Amino acid sequence: MTDGERQLIDAARERLGPKAVVTDPSEIEPWATDWRGRVHGATPAILSPASTEEVAEIVRLAAELRVPLVPQGGNTGMAAGATPPADGSALLLSMRRMNRIRSISAENRLGVAEAGVVLATLHNAAHEVGMRFPLTLGARGSCTIGGLTSTNAGGTQVLKFGTMRSLVAGVEAVLPDGSVHSGLSGLKKDNRGYSLDQLLIGAEGTLGVITAVALRLVPAVAARAVAWAAVDSPERALDLLRFLEARTTSVEGFELVPQDSLHLVLKHIPGTRAPLSGEHKWHVLVEATTADVDQDVGAEIERLLGAALQQGIIGDAVLAANEAQAEAFWKLRDTISEAERAEGQTLAHDISVAVADMPRFIVEASTAVERRFPGVVASGFGHLGDGNIHFHVRAAAHAAPDWYEREGKEITRFVDDLVTAAGGSISAEHGIGQLKRDEFARLAPAGRIHALRAIKQALDPLGIMNPGKLAP
């Protein structure tokens, strides 16, 4: 522990109270490790301010004492962006005590949540006023609004409502100099200079600490319909999406599932069964919703899938008969990663290309990877309508236990090169964090890296905000 850290910890105890400072190593450990357990950091303390003013005080002190801070929400990030450096040179700034929903209004279609509010809590609060916050993802029971905003999170409803960037109406944050940026006024139009709100969204805590966020709400779901369809290829899956989008605005989930992934789920996840009989090469999960109680969205989707079947776009389809079956369909999609882990070692890549290019990319990239690394199985599943799939590479059946460590890096470089050649992104929704920093530095244009570094240096000249993340 440095002298600065010791002084900051003492000052925090005094100003925030003893309960707001955790120094017991066993209590710290789970928060100093990323949630996939791959990156192990270390820190002498976790500080937990309970108000924006307390955050500002801590940041001002940290600047004065030159002690870096690592902001953290639910610690569910996929790129170790909230994991402190391994040398213990930074303190964790936990936002979990800032967990108030400051306001929520159906009339204004806005809610203001503090950074530590858990996504599921916000979902419930919106539901209680007859509205919905239309972004969700697997970690909804743990991830926080601050983390979701700082990583510009996506999820399974992006198709209709966009990522966090589209849903954030304003950001309150403590900047690295300890000043408070107040963007919560809920103005729909405000052209007073560069958008600090937009700069902070997706900045992974490297330009300041987000303390609260104004969020757009949409009318609550009156009814949903979930369907499962079989298609011959990713190209046909995209045809189906275009077909539906030209005829309805109710589709808000469209997930591609290869037969191989479904097969693993059926093999490893208890209580699962295939929605359709027979073998099919590819599958699509379609979710449609309506906020209109008079609209029969199930009948609409059934009719449209019938028409798509007649036109030869799909090979077969079934509508979930009830909520239990709808949940069962979603479970097939949501447990793919778990089933892969049960099967063996898997390398995950969260990538995007232009929507129109994705069908070809999936097929060509899988072929290229399997040819270059004999024995592995490559496949893509997920958010086809967003041009964003999880491109996973599984080890060969009898791969060595250290396959991931030994070959992972080379395979990832190969995949990232394919993505870059296709004009895509090596981080569609997970961010850069620590895990993608080297690849980002290798593949990004020099001008972009230069610009990001200049912005970081301008706003955080002392380098106290989340060191070692994002900008290479």
Q: How far is the CB of 421 from a second copy (least distance, A)?
A: 12
CB 467 within 8 A of CB 453: no
Q: Is 295 in the site for a second copy (CB under 8 A)?
A: no
Instruction: Give Cα 151 to chain centroid, integer Å.
Output: 7
In 397-419, which positions are buried (b, 16+ CB within 10 angstroms) versus exposed (e)? eebeeebbeebbeebbebbbebb
For a second copy, how many residues bind (rule: CB under 8 A)? Answer: 70
Q: Is 145 in the site for a second copy (CB under 8 A)?
A: no
Report the candidate in 380, 375, 388, 383 with the shortest Cα–Cα distance to residue 345: 375
Q: 39 or 264, CB closer to a second copy?
A: 39
Q: 46 or 174, CB closer to a second copy?
A: 174
Q: Is 211 in the site for a second copy (CB under 8 A)?
A: no
Piece of 33-41, 119-127, 187-195, 319-327 that binds a second copy (CB under 8 A)? 187-195
CA distance linking residue 154 with residue 161, whole number of Å: 10
Q: Is 471 in the site for a second copy (CB under 8 A)?
A: yes
Q: Is 448 in the site for a second copy (CB under 8 A)?
A: yes
Among 103, 124, 195, 367, binds a second copy (CB under 8 A): 195
Among 230, 240, 459, 464, binds a second copy (CB under 8 A): 459
Q: Is 445 in the site for a second copy (CB under 8 A)?
A: yes
Which sign, positive or negative, has the C-alpha torsion 446, 451, 456, 462? positive
Tokens for 114, please give them: 């503090």
Q: How far is the CB of 244 from a second copy (least distance, A)?
A: 13
Q: How many residues does the chain have?
A: 472
Q: How many CB atoms lie within 10 A of CB 172?
A: 25
Q: Is 457 in the site for a second copy (CB under 8 A)?
A: yes
Among 75, 151, 156, 366, binds a second copy (CB under 8 A): 151
- φ, ψ for residue 141 (rounded to 5)? -80, -10
CA distance linking residue 283 with residue 268, whole number of Å: 18
The pattern of x and - marking residues 159 through 178 that bind a second copy according to CB under 8 A reads ----x-xx--------x-x-
What are the DSSP calls for 25-83, one per residue? HHHHHHHHB-TTS--B---S-EE---SHHHHHHHHHHHHHHT--EEEESSS--SS-TTP
Q: Is 270 in the site for a second copy (CB under 8 A)?
A: no
- φ, ψ for residue 102 (rounded to 5)? -70, -35
Q: Is 425 in the site for a second copy (CB under 8 A)?
A: yes
- Which residues of this protein are in contact with a second copy, per CB under 8 A? 105, 107-108, 151-152, 154, 158, 163, 165-166, 175, 177, 179-182, 185-196, 198-199, 201-203, 207, 242, 352-356, 383, 386-388, 423-432, 440, 444-448, 450-452, 454-455, 457-459, 470-471
